[in-house]
Amino acid sequence: MRKFTFNGVIGGGLIAALVITALIGVFWTPYDPSALGFTSRLAAPGAAHWLGTDEFGRDVASRLMIGARASVWIGCLTVAFAVVCGTLIGLISGYARGWVDGVIMAVNNALLAFPGILLALGLLAVFGANQYGIIFALGIAYTPSMARVVRGAVLSLREREFIEASRIMGNSEIYTMLRHILPNCLAPITVLATSMFGWAILSESALSFLGLGVPPPAPTWGNMLAAGRPFIEQAVWLGFFPGLCIALTLLGINLLGDALRDKLDPRMRGLK
Amino acid sequence: MTGSSLLSVRDLSLAVAHNGNQVVKNVSFDVGAGEIVGIVGESGSGKTLATRAIIGLMPPAVRHVGGTISYRGRDVLSLKDRDLRRLRGGEIGVVFQEPMTSLNPSMTIGRQLEEGLILHTKKSADERRADILDMLKRVGLSEPERALAAYPHEFSGGMRQRIMLASVMLLKPALLIADEPTTALDAVVQRDVMELMVELTKAEGTAVLLISHDLPMVARYTNRFVVMEKGVIVEQGTTEDILSAPEHPYTRKLLSSLPFRAAPRKLDMSRTPMVSARNIVVEYPGRKGLFRKQAPKRALHGVSVDIHVGEVVALVGGSGSGKTTLGRTIAGLVQQAEGEILFQGRERSADWRDYRLNCQMVFQDPYSSLDPRMTIQALVEEALRLVPDLDGAAKRKRALETLDEVGLGGDFANRYPHELSGGQRQRVAIARAIARRPKFLIADEPVSALDVTVRAQVLELFSDLQKRYGFSCLFISHDLGVVEQVADRVIVMQDGRIVEQGDRDRIFDQPQEAYTRKLLSAIPALDLNQTGGVTLKWRLEA
């Protein structure tokens, strides 16, 4: 096995750190994340509170660790939802063509034309603002772009002769789709999925910021970022650290995604 | 080869900049005024690169490391960009291989032809128009006035290449560099374009440097040619000398790789045909709009074909003749509108499973017919997936055996398609098709994407396997040379109909129909002599 590239190692390291932090947060945090401390409100980062405290005196580091769990969970499930649904829809649409494709793509384009965050807002209004409502709403908002990308890949693949070769061998359509078309779509799917993970965390932040995300006092990076806004001048760490966490996670995911795509593709092996 | 030659290349060496690999080594040749000189070589021989250097259009990754190129006594390599531009087009014209991409699709033909005239001459608009119309007429466009306002996509490949030729010859260059000018065209059109090119350049006194992998074609039109291999000129001389007594082993290999007629075989034609297609009609649906309906386009007009047990039947014809459509219909990739296809005397739809097990196909393009994400072994094993009565171990064994048979034994099994050359990939495709021991094989242009020497090896492999397993085969090809080597019987198609069919020797020696004669006039009859040379005899169109 070839070693990962430098970028891949950095990305993998960042994501590993994130997952470990989130896991530790399940069992142990420096302070109780919801314990109020009126004597230490808006304390600057220091020995007692590594990343400072918020306006209620809660420990920012502890809250970030708990928040990581919610953010990662939401990111993973949203992406999983969009990948599974989008790939399925894209495969069917691209492979069936004809009127099936026409109908699916008409609905898909209508959804695409609708701003994702607005769609999610509307869905959240219906399903209620909680963790799974967010996952469902964002998943639906992201599915159309995944479906579109997969359909494009399928359309170009199905004209290739190895797909015809598979038909001539007598393989069923389902087998051909799963054995030959799907694996060859993996590259665009991986790339899109990793950027989606980033969008999901950001959108969750945005929704929390708008008050439609995970309701307080449960911490997520997004609602921490939102809560830090009024104090940006007195206590910059309130907004800075959640923002930094989001940025590093996105960076890690993107680097890891690129490395994974190259690693999964036999054509890229032996190059460079 | 006089001192007053038009173009003189001396010890030219070119190297890849970043690793210093020499891709062209000490190449020297001359082109005299009005002379036609050929450069023959396979892909990677450096023939294109060497000629690009003449007009100063080397790719940026390639550096000039030695030697000179002089044109009319001037050193081309030291010319400034300004002077080079004057040379290109004005003095030295170039016709590229791909007529589909060498014309700008968003400009009318008239504008494109005028461009060069504006750049290189001081003619008035009326004179330019008159010149262009005259040239378009000379290259055989029936309605030059209309062509002026037309866009490239309105013309066929052959017509585009004629227009390309017109645009170059308009400027009356002293030297024309033709880089595989007809490779992308089918055999008959190929010959027409070549004849036109030779006729025009002869009339204008233009010298031609003809670059091609097609040795007979080069031999037909040149007096002198150069053979290149891996960046080196291995042999050069007059066409007659090289053909009759080649000196270098590579030249001999090239000549012996040309397709020669094999001895005719006796086949038992009395048994039920393996496959018979009866009155096949295939239609491609027209566009259905909201307000108008286009009539469906008929690709095949009731074609009947019998392929007997152990027989290799060649299907030949130009592009658009319907030969590929017929092959795909018999393979079951295209649904026929009318007609029936019998397999061993029974309608094939009676038992599709059995038909699929026994009918396999080899595709033209080895770059797209193999799933890039599967190893070679997995590709061949997949073909055995649906074969009954074979367990996993037996399938693996059969796959490895078959790979061995096509000359890809050992560690090839674990490689991926992108790690193989074109010829090796086509071997994999053949292995995949024969792994099931099919009774019937459809081969759609299986060797036309391959280099000459590789093509010869793959054809030989194909013939060996055919003899060993005795499968019947429908061999689709536009290259009559290849057909002459492998086929028992030949079917000639044109415009979705069968024009003529018969035993190979009969078709090649006594063609009855005009279209068959036209196809045959594009390829030579070859005879190998004792010294490893060949004699080419061109069949004349009656």
Mean pLDDT, residues A212-231: 79
Whether the Cβ atoms of residue B40 and residue B228 lie closer than 8 Å to each other: yes
Q: Cα dist. B217→B361, B536, B538 in Å?
A: 30, 10, 10
A98 touches chain B (CB under 8 A): no
ipTM greater than 0.85, yes or no?
no
If one compares B489 and B541, the residue with the highest pLDDT of the two is: B489
CB contacts < 8 A, A to B, total: 64
Specify the pLDDT at position B2. Answer: 45
How far away is chain B from the Cα of A156, in angstroms, using its nearest Cα?
11
Specify the pLDDT at position B277. Answer: 92
Which chain A residues have a beta carbon less than 8 Å from that of B375? 266
Among A24-33, B48-57, B322-331, whose mean pLDDT is lowest? A24-33
| Distance (Å, whole) CA B463 – CA B260 | 13
Whether the Cβ atoms of residue B11 and residue B66 lie closer than 8 Å to each other: yes
With a cut of 50, say whether residue B114 has pLDDT above it. yes
Which pairing describes strands B472-477 and B440-444: parallel, antiparallel, or unpaired? parallel
Q: What are the structure tokens assigned to A270, written together?
A: 């032996």
% of chain B surpassing 70 pLDDT: 97
State the DSSP string of B196-259.
HHHHHHHHHT-EEEEEES-HHHHHHH-SEEEEEETTEEEEEEEHHHHHHS--SHHHHHHHHTS-
Instruction: Find the closest chain B residue to A187 by CA distance.
Output: B373
| Distance (Å, whole) CA B306 – CA B312 | 11
How far away is chain B from the Cα of A158, in angstroms, using its nearest Cα?
11
Asked if B373's CB is within 8 angstroms of A162's CB, the reply is no
Closest CA to B23 of B54, B66, B57, B56: B66
Mean pLDDT, residues B384-411: 89
Q: What are the structure tokens assigned to A51, written together?
A: 């990343």
Asked if A266's CB is within 8 angstroms of B373's CB, the reply is yes
Instruction: Find the closest chain B residue to A164 by CA distance.
Output: B333
The alpha-helical segments, DSSP class H, found in chain A are: 6-27, 60-96, 98-113, 116-127, 131-157, 161-168, 173-176, 182-209, 221-228, 237-264
DSSP label of B293: B
How far away is chain A from the Cα of B48, in angstroms, using its nearest Cα?
26
pLDDT in tens, A67-80: 888 888 888 899 99
How far away is chain B from the Cα of A66, in angstroms, using its nearest Cα?
41
pLDDT in tens, B319-341: 888 899 999 999 998 889 999 99
Specify the pLDDT at position B286. Answer: 67
- Torsions phi, psi for B263 (to 5 deg): -65, 145
Whether the Cβ atoms of residue B499 and residue B322 lie closer than 8 Å to each other: no
With a cut of 90, say whether residue B503 has pLDDT above it. yes
Instruction: Report helix, strand or coil for A109.
Output: helix
If one compares A146 and A272, the residue with the highest pLDDT of the two is: A146
State the DSSP string of B311-328.
-EEEEE--TTSSHHHHHH
Mean pLDDT, residues B509-518: 90
Q: Cα dist. B61→A234, B6, B230 in Å?
A: 57, 28, 18
Asked if A265's CB is within 8 angstroms of B373's CB, the reply is yes
Q: Which of A162, A266, A267 sits opposite B368 (nearest CB)?
A: A162
Asked if A162's CB is within 8 angstroms of B371's CB, the reply is yes
Asked if A170's CB is within 8 angstroms of B386's CB, the reply is yes
Specify the pLDDT at position A271. Answer: 44
Residues in chain B whose beta carbon is closer than 8 A to a beta carbon of chain A? 331-333, 352-353, 356-357, 359-361, 363-365, 368-373, 375, 382-383, 385-386, 416, 418-419, 429, 432
Instruction: Report helix, strand or coil for B489.
Output: strand
Asked if B356's CB is within 8 angstroms of A169's CB, the reply is yes
Instruction: Find the closest chain A residue to B441 by CA distance.
Output: A168
How far away is chain A from the Cα of B381, in angstroms, using its nearest Cα?
11
Name B244's Cβ contacts closer than 8 Å, sequence gap at least 6: B529, B531, B533, B534, B535
User: Which residue's structure tokens are 């290739």?
Assistant: A160
How far away is chain A from the Cα of B435, in angstroms, using its nearest Cα?
11
Test mutation, B290, B373, B385, chain A, max A CBs within 10 A: B373
Q: Is the peptide bond before B59 cis (omega within 30 degrees of 0)?
A: no
Mean pLDDT, residues B36-41: 92
Band (B292; pLDDT cuts 50, 70, 90): low
| Distance (Å, whole) CA B437 – CA B53 | 50
Closest CA to B105 of B162, B157, B153: B153
Closest CA to A210 of A108, A136, A134, A159: A134
Q: Which of A161, A164, A170 sits opposite B356 (nearest CB)?
A: A170
pLDDT in tens, B303-322: 999 999 999 999 998 888 88
With a cut of 80, say whether residue A2 has pLDDT above it. no
Asked if B418's CB is within 8 angstroms of A266's CB, the reply is yes
| Distance (Å, whole) CA B259 – CA B476 | 16
Among A209-223, B7-21, B314-328, whose mean pLDDT is lowest? A209-223
Which chain B residues have a beta carbon less than 8 Å from that of A160? 368-369
| Distance (Å, whole) CA A193 – CA B382 | 30
Band (B154; pLDDT cuts 50, 70, 90): confident
Which chain B residues have a beta carbon less than 8 Å from that of A166? 371, 382
pLDDT in tens, B332-365: 988 899 999 999 989 988 888 889 989 999 998 8
pLDDT in tens, B465-475: 999 999 999 99
Asked if A168's CB is within 8 angstroms of B372's CB, the reply is no
% of chain B surpassing 90 pLDDT: 37
Mean pLDDT, residues A246-253: 87
Test mutation, A168, A181, A267, A271, chain B, max B CBs within 10 A: A168
How far away is chain A from the Cα of B385, in angstroms, using its nearest Cα?
9
Which pairing describes strands B534-538 and B524-528: parallel, antiparallel, or unpaired? antiparallel
How far away is chain B from the Cα of A2, in angstroms, using its nearest Cα?
15
Instruction: Find the closest chain A residue to B351 by CA distance.
Output: A170
Whether the Cβ atoms of residue B215 and residue B451 lie closer than 8 Å to each other: no
Q: What are the structure tokens assigned to B126, written together?
A: 């009326």
Residues forming a β-bridge with B498: B493
Specify the pLDDT at position B370. Answer: 92
Q: Half-sphere exposure of B357 toward its Cβ, with a 13 Å CA cutoff?
A: 10
A182 touches chain B (CB under 8 A): no
Mean pLDDT, residues A104-127: 85
Q: Cα dist. A100→A87, A89, A93, B515 in Å?
A: 15, 10, 6, 44
Mean pLDDT, residues A97-103: 87
User: Which residue's structure tokens are 């910059």?
Assistant: A236
Long-range CB contacts (within 8 A, 24+) of B323-327:
B323/B476, B323/B478, B323/B493, B324/B444, B324/B445, B324/B476, B325/B282, B325/B299, B325/B300, B325/B496, B326/B277, B326/B280, B326/B282, B326/B300, B326/B476, B326/B493, B327/B361, B327/B442, B327/B444, B327/B474, B327/B476
Which chain A residues have a beta carbon less than 8 Å from that of B435? none
Q: Cα dist. A30→A26, A52, A63, A64 in Å?
A: 12, 12, 10, 11
With a cut of 70, say whether residue A268 has pLDDT above it. no
How far away is chain A from the Cα of B363, in angstroms, using its nearest Cα?
7
With a cut of 60, say whether residue B1 has pLDDT above it. no
With a cut of 70, say whether residue B101 has pLDDT above it. yes
Asked if A270's CB is within 8 angstroms of B419's CB, the reply is yes
Highest mean pLDDT: which of B37-51, B108-122, B301-315?
B301-315
With a cut of 90, say whether residue B160 has pLDDT above it. no
DSSP label of A36: -
Q: Which helix (H) or strand (E) holds B277?
A: strand B275-284
Band (A1; pLDDT cuts 50, 70, 90): very low
Whether the Cβ atoms of residue A65 and residue A245 lie closer than 8 Å to each other: no
If one compares A246 and A215, the residue with the highest pLDDT of the two is: A246
A97 touches chain B (CB under 8 A): no
Whether the Cβ atoms of residue B158 and residue B92 lie closer than 8 Å to each other: no
Test mutation, A1, A157, A161, A189, chain B, max B CBs within 10 A: A161
Asked if A180's CB is within 8 angstroms of B371's CB, the reply is yes
> Hey, how many other C-beta atoms are within 10 angstroms of the C-beta on B293?
11
Specify the pLDDT at position A153. Answer: 92
Name B313's Cβ contacts closer than 8 Å, sequence gap at least 6: B305, B307, B472, B473, B474, B475, B487, B488, B489, B490, B491
Which chain A residues have a beta carbon less than 8 Å from that of B369? 160-162, 164-165
Which chain A residues have a beta carbon less than 8 Å from that of B356? 168-170
Instruction: Find the closest chain B residue to A271 by CA distance.
Output: B419
How far away is chain A from the Cα of B217, in angstroms, using its nearest Cα?
30
CA B21 to chain centroid: 29
Residues forming a β-bridge with B74: B71
Q: Is B333 exposed, middle or buried (0-12, 13-18, 19+ CB in 10 A)?
A: middle
Asked if A270's CB is within 8 angstroms of B368's CB, the reply is no
Mean pLDDT, residues B483-510: 92
Instruction: Report helix, strand or coil for B67.
Output: strand
With a cut of 50, say whether residue B3 has pLDDT above it. no
Whether the Cβ atoms of residue B160 and residue B101 lie closer than 8 Å to each other: no
Specify the pLDDT at position A246. Answer: 85
| Distance (Å, whole) CA A252 – CA B321 | 56
With a cut of 60, say whether residue B458 has pLDDT above it. yes
How far away is chain B from the Cα of A161, in angstroms, using its nearest Cα?
4
